[in-house]
Amino acid sequence: MSETLSATERPAATPPPSPPGASSRSLALARLRDLALVPAIIAVAIVGSIVSPVFLSTDNIINVLQSMSEIAIVVLAQTIVLITGKMDLSLESTFGLAPGVAAWLVVDPALTRGLGLDVLPDAWAVPVVLLVGALVGAFNGLLIVRFGLNGFIVTLGMLIVLRGLLTGISGGQTFFMLPESMTYLGSATWVGVPASIWLSLLLFAAGIVVLGYTRAGRALYAIGGNADAARAAGIRTDRVLWLALIVASVLAALAGLLISGRLAAVPSAQGSGAIFQVFAAAVIGGVSLNGGKGSVFGAFTGVLLLFMIINVLTLAGVPAQWTNFLNGTVILVALVVSRITGGKAQT
């Protein structure tokens, strides 16, 4: 009761609307939450440059950005879903399946020891990738939004089903001899920088604008914050949720296309296990698993921090056998650090 009392007393005590000091302070605080990871990123950069002089070289920075670009797009996709208060585990399977299906349909079996069907011309590959993504998202939406099933279980089921589908059509093998249309985005270089870096940065910029400055984007926050209130405000919550799931799956498919292009192959395990890293990056970046909270920029800093630390560890010559152990540790430490700097440790 005493909390309510002190809380209600405050407005009476402070002078009339928006005293400049207080408001700019609260605004600064709001921005600060977005920038919570920046100090950590700077700290890792300093440690990195001490560990190895190579760390801050252009080549290494491009290397870090490229290695994270595909996962980063999946993180963007997951962020969109998480903000609405749902989650999509199946993104990692979509990440592998979408380019897998495209490769299956266009690759010539004569060149690949019987893999592939060669039923579609090469030009169809990219549209097929995106279409598979959209279909997966639409099906997730059908089960979650329309039939009201639990999103966690539905997408967990989808994760397994889609992975199984990819293993089935590929016979557990790797698609190779991909057409140029599929490898272009993942391997091209624009103005001296890999296209996948440009693409991921562009998508994040678009994400910041859409989620921060459009009604549709704000609707995601409203739904995640309080779905009933969002409905009362006239937001078509079902439609927005459905769209969010579709957009997320298409983004994951696109990310899969980029990595297939980079490696010029689609292994049947592409993306397997990546969802944990994706969740970790989003949560470290301040996106709430309960919905309604988080920003695209925050999610970006989350991925960046994660991959920078991994890069520093590699440069420091940590044996590959220890990578998983350290990856997990990094995720836990980053979570603790971001909770402390985000000022949420108490709640």
Partner 1 sequence: MSATPSGPADGLVGTDQPVVEAVQITKRFGSTVALADAGIVVRRGETHALVGRNGAGKSTLVSILTGLQAADDGAVAFDGRPAPPLGDRDAWRKRVACVYQKSTIIGALTVAENLFLNRHARGRTGLIHWSRLRRAAEQLLAEWSVEVDVRQPASTLSVEQRQFVEIARALSFGARFIILDEPTAQLDGAGINRLFSRIRQLRAQGVTFLFISHHLQEIYEICDQVTVFRDARHIVTAPVAQLSRPALVAAMTGEDVTMPEAEHRPLTTDAPVLLSVRGLVTTSGAELSVEARAGEVVGIAGGGGSGKVEVAEAIVGLARPTGGTVVVDGRTLRPGSVPDALDAGVGLVPQDRHREGLVPLLSIAENVTMTVPDRIGRRGLISPTRRDDLARDTITDLAIKASGPQVPVSDLSGGNQQKVVMGRALASDPKLLVLITPTAGVDVRSKQTLLGVVEEVRARGTSVLVVSDELDDLRICDRVLVMFQGRVVREMAHGWSDNDLVAAMEGVDLHHV
Applying CB under 8 A, which residues contact partner 1? 1, 4-5, 7-12, 14, 16-18, 22-23, 26-27, 30, 209, 212-215, 218-219, 221-222, 224-226, 228-230, 232-235, 292-293
Place of tokens 């990219």: 126
Kindly tell me which of 60 and 288 has the beta carbon lying closer to partner 1.
288
Q: State the minimum distance, in angstroms, from the CB of residue 12 to partner 1.
A: 8
Cα separation, 59 vs 281, in Å, equals 23
Q: Please check whether residue 118 is in contact with residue 189, taking contact to mean a CB–CB distance below 8 angstroms.
A: no
Q: Token pair of 14, please? A: 């402070």
- C-alpha 108/C-alpha 89 separation (Å) is 32
By C-beta, is 20 or 317 nearer to partner 1? 20
Q: Of 147 and 213, which CB lies nearer to partner 1 in the complex structure?
A: 213
Nearer to partner 1, 30 or 191 (CB): 30
254-267 burial: b if 16+ Cβ within 10 Å, else e? bbbbbbbbbbebbb
Tokens of 253: 């498919």
Shortest Cβ 282–partner 1 spacing (Å):
16
Q: Which lies closer to partner 1 via its Cβ, residue 11 or residue 273?
A: 11
CB of residue 205 to partner 1, shortest distance in Å: 13
**Shortest distance in whole angstroms from residue 81 CB to partner 1:** 16
Please identify, using beta-carbon distances, which residue of 59 and 228 lies nearer to partner 1.
Answer: 228
H or E segment and range at residue 189: strand 189-190
Q: Closest separation between CB of residue 78 and partner 1, Å?
A: 18
Burial of 49 (0-12, 13-18, 19+ CB in 10 A): middle
**DSSP state at residue 128:** H
Tell me, rounded to whole angstroms, the distance of Cα 315 from its chain centroid. Answer: 25
For residues 172 and 152, what is the distance between their CA atoms, to the nearest angstrom?
26
Q: How far is the CB of 155 from partner 1 (least distance, A)?
A: 23
CA distance 301 to 338: 11
- Given the complex with partner 1, which of 137 and 292 has the nearer CB atom? 292
Closest to partner 1 by CB, 49 or 226: 226
Nearer to partner 1, 241 or 252 (CB): 241
Q: How far is the CB of 79 from partner 1 (least distance, A)?
A: 14
Residues contacting residue 45 through CB under 8 Å, at least 6 positions apart: 55, 56, 308
Shortest Å, Cβ 215 to partner 1: 6
Nearest one of 85, 88, 32 to 222, comparing CA atoms: 85
Annotate 21-82 with DSSP letters as a single string: HHHHHHHHHHHHHHTTTHHHHHHHHHHHHHH-TTTTSHHHHHHHHHHHHHHHHHHHHHHHHH
Give least dist CB 232 to partner 1, A. Answer: 5
One DSSP character per residue, 217-263 reads: HHHHHHHHH-HHHHHHTT--HHHHHHHHHHHHHHHHHHHHHHHHHHH
Spatial separation of the C-alpha atoms in residues 34 and 222, rounded to whole Å: 18
